[in-house]
Chain A
Amino acid sequence: MRSFDPFSLSAQTIAQNVNNGTWRVEDIAEYYLRRVSDIQSVFNSHVGWDRDIAKNELEKQIDFIRAARLAQKHLPLAGVPVAIKDNIMVEGQLVTCGSRLLQGHRAAYDATVIQRLKQAGALILGRTNMDEFGMGSTNEFSVYGPVLNPWNRHHVSGGSSGGSAVAVAADFAPVALGSDTGGSIRQPASFCGIWGLKPSYGRVSRYGLVAYASSLDQIGPMARSSADLALVLSVIGGHDPRDSSSHRHPEGHFPESLSKGPKSLQGQRIAIIKEFMKDGLVAEVREAFLSALEEYKSLGAEIVECSLPEIDLAIPTYYILATAEASSNLARFDGVRYGQRTQKTGVNLRELYMLSRAEGFGREVKQRIMLGTYVLSAGYYEAYYAKANRMRELLKRSINNIFAQGVSLIASPAAPSTAFELGQKTQDSLSMYLSDVYTIAANLAGIPALSHPIGLDSKGLPIGIQLMAPAFQEENLLRSASVYEQHSQWNERNRPRF
């Protein structure tokens, strides 16, 4: 078998070399199968990993890629391994959302994103650990146990797409798919020193994604460079008639806009939100963020300060809406339609629902379902849910107003701190919710946002910046970040040592 230099294995490089016949897809598959088998258990990044099963599942796809090669058909992701979060359906594979309740549940069909990845020649390789049903910011709320950060195993990976972030950071795959309801792609990407993109609401089909909060959820790519994010987004994006929230927006030409677009940031106006720079932001993160902004400025961008007073109420708004939607979406997991049924006998139907759900869901999920039930209940609906919807609209209008004033991007740290120590936030839900302060606005407003690494703190843990753009302007978002990437000291060769 050919020996590969893991540092050279970007998705772009793999696809190029498989398409032109320099590399064999079997060798790529074998290299990653061995790497995941050897190391993933150290970080607990994958769920239900079995090398032989994974190998068998790849056979048909390897034949498809070989046939395409013989027919001289170019596949944009030829031979590129992609790790998949455990809440996205891959036909025939287990899909458990990190929950005891869904143990043994197999997907009956491919999610649209999986269909598109397969048609593009990708190798679907491994299911990644996550906070149960996407509810968590540390990846400690999983029935499979916590995911460890490859930069320091005493720290969390971030969540809820922690397994996908670690899969990319530790070279188990050059790219992974995550889902992002309030920062679940961008925050773990930041904690693990990689790139993560939450696309505009409606850009990527959610058909085949197990829903958490339907007005906020988006599937997006995680990778080690802007070019790989662009490549995967160009494959998975675009209208899907099977998802009624999927927009008929013209498909973007993301890789081309990176390679052919301007190489400076002249004319780009980047806003920082002054309310984001208040208490709670760790000094080292603040310094790294301001220093990255200086770099953006030196590349031609104009930096301006804006105010977004509504942002102070974004967290209660988000957690009211997300939990309300979750309480409704997760009602289907009752041991009759979906999920393991309680083994207790002699119970009536209502007891059967209550016991099956209580035995299957973990504590954080139960808590969020109850919060959602509370804010939707008669007597509290107007005070919480209806009010949160109005607040969301005001926040959305204020963000759009900032963009209407000639601002092309809004920048913030990706998270107020670097990765927490394991166990630091699990006993205090509110403190964990507050750490989502920078990422939730993009979900509430439905706009695209990415996070990318900008350096390390004094403990050697990665720090990330977040950039947000107006809806459906991913091309400018990715291109601007790629200009920084080309000039930055931090590039895709930065890797954790383990």
Chain B
Amino acid sequence: MAHIDRDAVEKISNLAHLKLSEEDLSTIKPQFERILAYMDSLQEFEDTLPKDWRPEFDLPPTPEREDLPVVSEVIEKVLSSAPKVVGTAFQVPRIIE
């Protein structure tokens, strides 16, 4: 089992785009360790599937639909829930500094 120290939890929170508070860190770290230790029980099972098996092998085929044009009239409704709007567009934060 991978050892989960504070640095590891902070690294995962960065990857997950979550800025954790001190309180979050101290609550989540011990929970995280217990859960991962439990998840490690999965390492024990006897895997009888062929090595080259992939989940997509057993998926049912995706039903296809006719390629027909559909008029969408939801622009205003979608914009009504956008965090910020300019005209008919989502306003996003400046990314070039």
A residues in contact (CB < 8 Å) with B: 91-92, 104-106, 108-109, 202, 239, 241, 244-248, 310, 312-313, 315-317, 319-320, 327, 331, 334-341, 348-355, 357-358, 361, 363, 366-367, 369-375, 377, 380, 383-384, 387-394, 396, 428-430, 433
Closest chain A residue to B56, Cβ basis: A389
Pair B42/A384 contact, Cβ less than 8 Å: yes
Residues of chain A with a CB closer than 8 A to B43's CB: 383, 387
Pair A377/B12 contact, Cβ less than 8 Å: yes
B71 at the interface (CB under 8 A from A): no
Q: A247-B63, A363-B28, A390-B49 are in contact. Are A369 and B41 (CB under 8 A)?
A: no
The contact of A373 among B16, B42, B94, by CB within 8 Å, is B16
Pair B35/A430 contact, Cβ less than 8 Å: yes
Q: A319-B39, A349-B95, A387-B43 are in contact. Are A369 and B63 (CB under 8 A)?
A: no
Residues of chain A with a CB closer than 8 A to B28's CB: 363, 366-367, 370
Closest chain A residue to B34, Cβ basis: A430
Pair B63/A246 contact, Cβ less than 8 Å: yes
Q: Give CA–CA (A433, B31) in the complex, Å.
A: 12
B81 to chain A, nearest CB (A): 5
Residues of chain B with a CB closer than 8 A to A202's CB: 60
- CB 8 Å contact bits of B23-48 with A (1 = contact, 0 = none): 01001100110111011111111011
Pair A369/B39 contact, Cβ less than 8 Å: no
Can you list 24 residue pairs at the A/B interface with Cβ under 8 Å?
Answer: A108-B80, A109-B74, A244-B62, A244-B63, A245-B62, A316-B40, A316-B41, A317-B42, A320-B42, A336-B90, A338-B81, A340-B83, A354-B19, A363-B24, A366-B18, A366-B28, A370-B18, A377-B12, A383-B43, A387-B42, A393-B53, A393-B58, A394-B47, A430-B34
Pair A389/B83 contact, Cβ less than 8 Å: no
Q: Give CA–CA (A202, B60) in the complex, Å.
A: 10
Q: Give CA–CA (A335, B95) in the complex, Å.
A: 14
Residues of chain A with a CB closer than 8 A to B15's CB: 373, 377
Q: Give CA–CA (A353, B90) in the complex, Å.
A: 16
Q: Give CA–CA (A391, B36) in the complex, Å.
A: 17
Pair B93/A106 contact, Cβ less than 8 Å: no
- CB 8 Å contact bits of B53-97 with A (1 = contact, 0 = none): 101001010110100000000100110110110000010111101
Residues of chain A with a CB closer than 8 A to B31's CB: 367, 428-430
Residues of chain A with a CB closer than 8 A to B74's CB: 108-109
Residues of chain B with a CB closer than 8 A to A429's CB: 31, 34-35
Secondary structure at the A interface, as helix, strand, loop or mixed, is helix
Residues of chain A with a CB closer than 8 A to B17's CB: 331, 334, 350, 353-354, 357
Q: Give CA–CA (A384, B42) in the complex, Å.
A: 8
Q: Give CA–CA (A315, B42) in the complex, Å.
A: 9
Other CB < 8 Å A-B pairs besides A312-B41, A375-B39, A377-B12, 5 of them?
A109-B74, A313-B45, A315-B38, A319-B39, A387-B45
Pair A430/B53 contact, Cβ less than 8 Å: no
Pair B20/A366 contact, Cβ less than 8 Å: yes
Q: Give CA–CA (A245, B62) in the complex, Å.
A: 7
Q: Give CA–CA (A363, B40) in the complex, Å.
A: 23
Pair B35/A327 contact, Cβ less than 8 Å: no
Pair B49/A394 contact, Cβ less than 8 Å: yes
Q: A341-B84, A348-B97 are in contact. Are A248 and B77 (CB under 8 A)?
A: no
Q: Give CA–CA (A348, B94) in the complex, Å.
A: 8
A180 to chain B, nearest CB (A): 20
Closest chain B residue to A375, Cβ basis: B39
Report which residue of B28, B40, B63 has the largest number of chain A beta carbons within 10 angstroms of its beta carbon: B63
Q: Give CA–CA (A130, B15) in the complex, Å.
A: 27
Q: A108-B77, A357-B17 are in contact. Are A393 and B63 (CB under 8 A)?
A: no
Pair A433/B35 contact, Cβ less than 8 Å: yes
Residues of chain B with a CB closer than 8 A to A388's CB: 42
Residues of chain A with a CB closer than 8 A to B90's CB: 336-337
The contact of B45 among A245, A353, A391, by CB within 8 Å, is A391
Q: Give CA–CA (A351, B19) in the complex, Å.
A: 8
Pair B18/A358 contact, Cβ less than 8 Å: yes
The contact of B13 among A320, A352, A370, by CB within 8 Å, is A370
- CB 8 Å contact bits of B2-22 with A (1 = contact, 0 = none): 100000010011111111110
Pair A390/B53 contact, Cβ less than 8 Å: yes
Pair B16/A105 contact, Cβ less than 8 Å: no
Q: Give CA–CA (A337, B13) in the complex, Å.
A: 20
